[in-house]
């Protein structure tokens, strides 16, 4: 993974933009912002298993998307029941700028010995798999599980960025992955995790670091 300088025509409203290159094609961005305003092809919702809305980023996405999003979620819920942690499904973006919302359920933090890292990594992998099925080239993620679900943000950031980097080292339709982080503390944790990831030997062969 190689750090890149944001170009001069980047929107100055994109606070604290950090940009990295993963492999030959993919760009990873970290910003501070509100994911509901993102115009990437897809945004990811940190949903709960009910799929019927909740607080945090889930509530913000439903508020901004309008009632059609909830109606789509209700239909999916009726068909397939609650969504287990680590899995993902997609809906339209309803009134959002994004074309699709990919809803995934992160793990609730139980201290780290209940498979939380694997479940969290699965959220990111499954979301990217669905984005590819939908022919998306860009996707925005929130920091899944680090709000109400209580996952320690530094650990979650490591799991999240590693999972995304592992997928995007391979040829993949998604060429822009943006983490839209809600506060400076979360952004700092992800920036630090990105720094650490750049120095992991086994990933470095494919994710270059240019300092």
Q: Does 186 bind ligand ADP (CB under 6 A)?
A: yes
Residue 142 phi/psi, 5-degree rounding, is -90, 180
Interacting residue with ligand ADP among 31, 32, 42, 57 (CB under 6 A)? 57
Q: Does 146 bind ligand ADP (CB under 6 A)?
A: yes
Catalytic residue among 58, 63, 155, 183: 58
Interacting residue with ligand ADP among 100, 179, 182, 190 (CB under 6 A)? 182
Interacting residue with ligand ADP among 142, 164, 178, 193 (CB under 6 A)? 142
Min dist. Cβ of residue 64 to ligand ADP (A): 8
Q: Is 63 annotated in the active site?
A: no
Report the distance separating Cα 67 and Cα 51, nearest Å. Answer: 13
- Give 170 or 183: the residue with its C-beta nearer to ligand ADP: 183
- Give 59 or 67: the residue with its C-beta nearer to ligand ADP: 59
| 190: Cβ contacts below 8 Å, ≥ 6 apart | 30, 143, 157, 160, 161, 179, 181
- Give 164 or 180: the residue with its C-beta nearer to ligand ADP: 180
Q: Does 60 bind ligand ADP (CB under 6 A)?
A: yes
To 10 degrees, the CA torsion angle through 105, 145, 135, 96? 90
Contact range with ligand ADP by CB under 6 A, out of 5-13, 126-134, 176-184, 193-201: 176-184
Interacting residue with ligand ADP among 17, 26, 31, 35 (CB under 6 A)? 35
- Give 180 or 193: the residue with its C-beta nearer to ligand ADP: 180
Q: Known catalytic residues?
A: 58
Per CB under 6 A, residues contacting ligand ADP are: 34-36, 46, 56-58, 60, 106, 142-149, 180, 182-183, 186
């Amino acid at each position: 993974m190689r750090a890149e300088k944001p170009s001069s025509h980047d929107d100055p409203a994109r606070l604290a933009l950090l940009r990295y290159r993963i492999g030959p094609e993919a760009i990873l961005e970290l910003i501070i912002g509100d994911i509901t305003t993102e115009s990437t092809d897809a945004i990811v919702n940190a949903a709960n298993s009910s799929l019927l809305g909740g607080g945090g980023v889930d509530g913000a996405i439903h508020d901004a998307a309008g009632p059609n999003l909830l109606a789509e979620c209700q239909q999916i819920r009726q068909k397939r029941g609650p969504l287990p942690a680590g899995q993902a499904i997609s809906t339209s973006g309803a009134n959002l700028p994004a074309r699709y919302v990919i809803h995934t359920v992160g793990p609730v933090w139980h201290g780290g010995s209940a498979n939380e890292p694997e479940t969290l990594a699965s959220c990111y992998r499954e979301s990217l798999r669905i984005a590819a099925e939908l022919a998306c080239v860009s996707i925005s993620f929130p920091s899944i599980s680090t709000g109400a679900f209580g996952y320690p943000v530094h650990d979650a950031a490591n799991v999240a960025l590693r999972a995304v980097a592992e997928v995007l080292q391979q040829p993949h339709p998604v060429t822009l992955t943006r983490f839209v982080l809600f506060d400076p503390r979360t952004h700092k944790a992800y920036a630090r995790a990105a720094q650490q990831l750049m120095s992991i030997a086994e990933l470095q062969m494919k994710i270059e670091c240019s300092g």
